Chains A and B, each alone.
Chain A
Amino acid sequence: MNGEHVLSVEDMRVWYSGPGGPVRAVDGVSFSLRPGEVLGLVGESGCGKSTLGRGLLGLLPRGAAADGTLRFDGQDVLALPAKQREALRGGGMGLIFQEPMTRLDPLMRISDHFDEALKTHEKSLSKKERQTRALDALRALGIPPTRFRNYPHEFSGGMRQRIMIALALALRPKFIVADEPTTALDVLVEAQILRILADIRERFSPAILLITHNLGIVAEACDHVAVMYAGRIVEQGPVRDIFANPSHPYTQALLRSTISLKTQNLHSIPGAPPDLVAPPAGCRFHPRCEHAMQVCPAKQPPQFQPHRSECWLLEPALTGAERAPLEREEVSVADEA
């Protein structure tokens, strides 16, 4: 792992139009990734994690806009014209989708999927080279070459997800967004895919942004983790540090509410994630936070080291008035997600 960042994101914003005004799905997010590094992006549904992934790749739907700085491979990607940006996808940046069952064309053989992808992105390859490249990628994912000419419906869900990963890998991208790659899969198949991702890191060392809601997967597959809440990354850092010493109350609550084999008592987070059209003032988590202080709704907290946590609890120089506990309305069960 060298010190050069493959990808660095600064103050990225993504918003799209909603019935009640612009929805600020990603609102000022910064992080960076080195080659071979896996960053886990976790959060509840609707926190903007998938939108961020799509925004990085320039795959936002019509009506959405992105702003900020996105440096990839030395280029300022958001400033590039659309054509050049498109050329970055595939060989530069790849995507592994969430639903393997619906992402392959049912009328195309697996071999044709590879042929099309390679033809589009690497025009210089001969037919023979394309096939070799495809078979190598499939073999790396444990798909026997005997199945190369099969159709998608002849494969199980786990096999299709392997094929999706192989399709992304055949183009040898430097950066991959993996959006919930194991969510629809059974536990044993999920474990197989996580093992494969680990092997891929060793062999190809792409930088991976792994979007998930499962903290177990973060612990298993990632070096770094970024915790996202209501469009912002509220804490990020090495997985071990964050799991051992979470400094943001949201991270703490998320870790506590996860049901694992060791769970003795159930914990949950009161309330529901906010509406991103008009998020709460100051720290967005303050209405659900058990430690909320007077300062929390008043001012957006800056980032505190070591985890770049956006939480006023980490500020030593608060006045007594600012530190006074916030009177909170009792959150009724009914208002919960």
Chain B
Amino acid sequence: MPTRPEPTGGSATAQADAPLVEITDLNVHFALRASAAARLVGRSSGTVRAVDGVSLSLARGEVLGLVGESGSGKSTLGRALLGLVHATSGSIRYQGDELTGLSEAKLRPLRRDLQMVFQDPHASFNPSMTVGRSVADALRIHGLAGDAEQRRGAVLAALERVGLAPGERFIDKYPAELSGGQKQRAVIARAIILDPKLLVADEPISMLDMSVRAKILGLLEELRDELGLTYVYITHDLASARFFCDRVAIMYLGKIVEIGPVAEIFDNPRHPYTQALIKAIPEPDPDKALPRDLPRGEIPDAANPPLGCSFHPRCPAAFGPCGWEPRDVRMVLDQRWTTVSGEQYEAESRLVADEAHFASDTEVHAAGGSPGEVLALLEDERTSRPAEPLWKGVVGRTVVGRSVQMQMRAAVEPTLLPVRDAAVSVSCHLYHPPAGYAAGGKALDDPRASSNEAQ
């Protein structure tokens, strides 16, 4: 490994026990581009909150896992850490230095310390550059390792460090001549040649074959021990996160829903989403079957996130304050119609007006039938599936004109708070019930609840 001179002054004086990186209330929002016509009439196109109020800190030498499904914001958070996407607001401090709002020129010297390993090794290299040139590029850009010969020596050392030995065999090859695993090793060589402090590894093994994954994960582990690296390991694969990470943050729709030491997260998952993720992993054990009660649906549209807790429409344990809204009624009806006969669907769907009326309203409009018939349909659904969590959020149904108005319990957005007697923080009303609810979800003093719930 090339050793570079210690940076003088400033950040080098930071205390050893201070966090390496401190993220506070970070937001990364992307504006959606509306169609030309919509822009002409001035219709707003909305924003996607890819990272939505995330705070966390990274200790020196630790491996923090960012785990979540696609669309959870885990990759955006990793990129924001390196300044590859701009933070909308909030702060990222690296050894005390603020990274957000820095110009590219000011950020560049810091990038020597902050490097990234990308997911797809086949797309991480310029196909017309030799591996050696690609790896040396990092040195060139940062003006290190002066002449060509020194640079070649540094590249050879880095290649051999990641297992591509003898380096001479690989330095003049083109990416297409390497296998997937070899390419990923070369990507790692390029990341460590600058002797970084922090490595953000975005799904580094997910594109590789099973027999190769273990090797690359083993290499990352070796490098941590030998170079004292701190990692942010971004993955959707919980099994490798459990093996590799010290701490894990579970992300859902831009937010951290649970964070804690790896053993605590896996042995005693608290958030219903974490519980579902862990149960849903198909284990190579024929005696272990997947549960029947999987969360329904998929991660929702980030441009139009659910009210309250983003997970509530899928959550089997959701209750009153979780954020029930009329479009959830639509979801429940859609679900009902996958179980009834074609004739019954035809008859029932005629009663209710189409989707557009659900998203914006608190009302379920009657279309082909009377409001009374709509009310009867909803009542039939409620009695035939009483376990449906939605009904815990519905406190009343009244007929107003041609439509049925649903009164929902007020939504309370959960916040990430520490759990008592554990090193874990979780963002869920089950653990931190809002005012008016007991632990476990019982409404305490809502007068509407007692009078209307029986309706």
Query: Quick one: closest B residue to A187, CB to CB?
Result: B280
| Given A139-B338, A188-B69, A266-B217: A337 in contact with B211 (beta carbons within 8 A) | yes
Partner of A216 from B166, B236, B284, B337 at Cβ < 8 Å: B284
Query: Quick one: closest A residue to B164, CB to CB?
Result: A334
Query: Quick one: closest A residue to B282, CB to CB?
Result: A216
- Is B400 in the interface zone, CB < 8 Å from A? no
- Residues facing B in A228-265 (CB within 8 A) are 239-240, 243, 253-255, 257-263
Contact B179 A259 (CB under 8 A): no
| Given A192-B294, A261-B281: A333 in contact with B165 (beta carbons within 8 A) | yes
- Residues facing A in B200-228 (CB within 8 A) are 209-215, 217-218, 221
Partner of B210 from A143, A156, A254, A333 at Cβ < 8 Å: A254
CB-defined contacts of B338 to chain A, threshold 8 Å:
138-139, 142-145
Contact A257 B210 (CB under 8 A): yes
- Is B79 in the interface zone, CB < 8 Å from A? no
B354 to chain A, nearest CB (A): 8
Contact B180 A337 (CB under 8 A): yes
Please, how many residues of chain A have a CB less than 8 angstroms from a CB on the other chain?
Answer: 58
Contact B182 A144 (CB under 8 A): no
CB-defined contacts of A109 to chain B, threshold 8 Å:
none
| Given A188-B69, A216-B283, A334-B170: A259 in contact with B211 (beta carbons within 8 A) | no
- Is B288 in the interface zone, CB < 8 Å from A? yes
The stretch that binds B, out of A4-12, A110-118, A267-275, is: A267-275
Whole-angstrom CA separation of A11 from B281 in the bound complex: 35
Contact B243 A259 (CB under 8 A): yes
| Given A195-B292, A336-B215: A260 in contact with B209 (beta carbons within 8 A) | no
- Is A90 in the interface zone, CB < 8 Å from B? no
Contact A188 B337 (CB under 8 A): no
| Given A158-B298, A334-B165: A187 in contact with B182 (beta carbons within 8 A) | no
Partner of A243 from B163, B236, B284 at Cβ < 8 Å: B284
The stretch that binds B, out of A217-225, A291-299, A303-311, A316-324, is: A217-225
Whole-angstrom CA separation of A254 from B345 in the bound complex: 48
A57 to chain B, nearest CB (A): 25
Query: Quick one: closest B residue to A191, CB to CB?
Result: B280
Query: Quick one: closest B residue to A238, CB to CB?
Result: B286
Partner of B342 from A44, A145, A192 at Cβ < 8 Å: A145
Contact B69 A268 (CB under 8 A): no
Contact B282 A268 (CB under 8 A): no
- Is A105 in the interface zone, CB < 8 Å from B? no
Whole-angstrom CA separation of A142 from B298 in the bound complex: 13
CB-defined contacts of A190 to chain B, threshold 8 Å:
280, 282
- Is B334 in the interface zone, CB < 8 Å from A? yes
Contact A259 B213 (CB under 8 A): yes
- Residues facing A in B272-305 (CB within 8 A) are 276-278, 280-286, 288-290, 292, 294-295, 298-299
Query: Quick one: closest A residue to B219, CB to CB?
Result: A333
Partner of A267 from B70, B214, B239, B294 at Cβ < 8 Å: B214
Q: A147-B334, A195-B294, A336-B182 are in contact. List 19 more A-B contacts (CB 8 A).
A: A143-B338, A145-B337, A157-B298, A191-B282, A191-B290, A191-B294, A213-B209, A216-B284, A221-B282, A243-B284, A259-B239, A261-B266, A268-B211, A268-B214, A272-B179, A332-B165, A333-B165, A336-B181, A336-B212
When A and B form their complex, which 4 residue pairs have the shortest distance between CB atoms, in order from nearest?
A216-B282, A144-B334, A191-B280, A333-B163
Q: What is B's interface to A at a CB cutoff of 8 Å?
A: 69-70, 163-166, 169-170, 179-182, 209-215, 217-218, 221, 236-240, 242-243, 266, 276-278, 280-286, 288-290, 292, 294-295, 298-299, 334-335, 337-339, 342, 345, 349, 354-355
